[in-house]
Structure 1
């Protein structure tokens, strides 16, 4: 059974997909032999927050983070801070990680499995241009969460799942200003993945309260949201509450 490395004592991705070493060892990662979701149990999608591109005053901004986390269910917080040196990034993690983990929210660091392990994060998210999965696993250890960007590629997703990734991320589904998005994913990709595989999938890219319902209907396990929460006209807490109302609709 996979558990988080430190702090949260939970792994929302393992809980979503019943994805562990035993399944990987005993089951070929293919539509014909890998357990389908219907063989596990139905579940609601959950919210996966990504920090804003720039946080000017982390010790003040953490109040905004806490209000957002207290407004509804949040499975995960990805700390994504490009351009910071190691010391600055570690200090940012030291501010943002504790309040999230106290609330049972898994904390992932973008791109840096070595620093994720050193700073007590629960895992890491790696892109296709970052280090390979095997290298990331070696850096973060056997119990850390590793998610992999797969853009709009079924092939990349199956490769990541076969390697042992705890989740695969598809996107961008909508135009986004948070980061450069080289690909545009179609909602059919989520239908396909959710019907065939138990490894959890994350939908990312320009997701808002207004446009997320088709992704939820298609079977995504997690909605990864940044600007749709932090830039919401009624504030981040209102956005988290609104997302949760949608995610729990019957």
Structure 2
């Protein structure tokens, strides 16, 4: 039976894990804010394959308990191996069609589309569940990141897929992106590097109670 999030239209905070080498501390940090997240993405750019497997596996139980889908960054094979709810692929992370075939129709499969609407269309045609655009603002998470315009979110409504905004998003600037059509805002340091991560996560979630994105066109 498909999980509820396989068909529901998501909205809210798309929380992405920090590059935390200590698995116990990662779990502690995630558990504190997981209740405010719509989705959680496991991402650790500095971990070796063994640590990535151990950390992603360890996140499954708290995500299941909270009813929050776990999505694995960069590696659909790891997502498949641990039974995660989906994967997110950048332009160098493998073929979306192969990932969709391997993970199944109900998996959440995301694609980084940066500032490129043509790439977003290709991703949807290949089976992407959602498309992610950004960076919209300066960000410390990636160097040399391509910059996207809020108007791109409006234009992407025609794709009839959830739109994720990423890159330097704060509770103060998120409203502009939500008003432009972002269904979720993806955040790492805005929560995990905040002086009070719980208050920060709560503030991001509150942005969706203030701003309502336009509805997707019927499809």
Question: Which TM-score applies when normalising by structure 1?
Answer: 0.79
Equivalent pairs counted in the alignment come to 211
Query: Partner of 1:38 in structure 2?
Result: none
Query: Partner of 1:55 in structure 2?
Result: 20
Deviation at 1:76? 0.6
The partner residue of 2:9 within 9, 12, 16 is: 16
Query: Partner of 1:108 in structure 2?
Result: 71
Query: Partner of 1:229 in structure 2?
Result: 191
Contact 1:113 1:136 in 2 (8 A): yes
Question: In 1, distance between residues paired with 2:118 and 2:21?
Answer: 38
**Quick check: 1:180 aligned with 2:173?**
no
Contact 1:172 1:181 in 2 (8 A): no
Contact 2:123 2:131 in 1 (8 A): yes
Q: Segments of 4+ in structure 1 off by > 3 A?
A: none
Deviation per residue, 1:5-30 (Å, 9 max, x gap): xxxx3326x4117xxxxxxxxxxxxx
Gaps of 5+ in 2: 212-219
Question: Which TM-score applies when normalising by structure 2?
Answer: 0.90
Question: In 1, distance between residues paired with 2:118 and 2:4?
Answer: 29
Query: Partner of 2:199 in structure 1?
Result: 238
Deviation at 1:243? 1.1
Greater RCO structure (CA 8 Å; 6+ sep): 1
Deviation at 1:181? 4.4
Question: In 2, distance between residues paired with 1:113 and 1:159?
Answer: 18
Cα RMSD for the two superposed structures: 1.7
Contact 2:191 2:201 in 1 (8 A): yes
**Quick check: 1:120 aligned with 2:69?**
no
Deviation at 1:64? 2.1
**Quick check: 1:247 aligned with 2:213?**
no
Deviation at 1:129? 1.3
Tell which structure's C-alpha radius of gyration is larger.
Answer: 1
Contact 1:10 1:106 in 2 (8 A): no
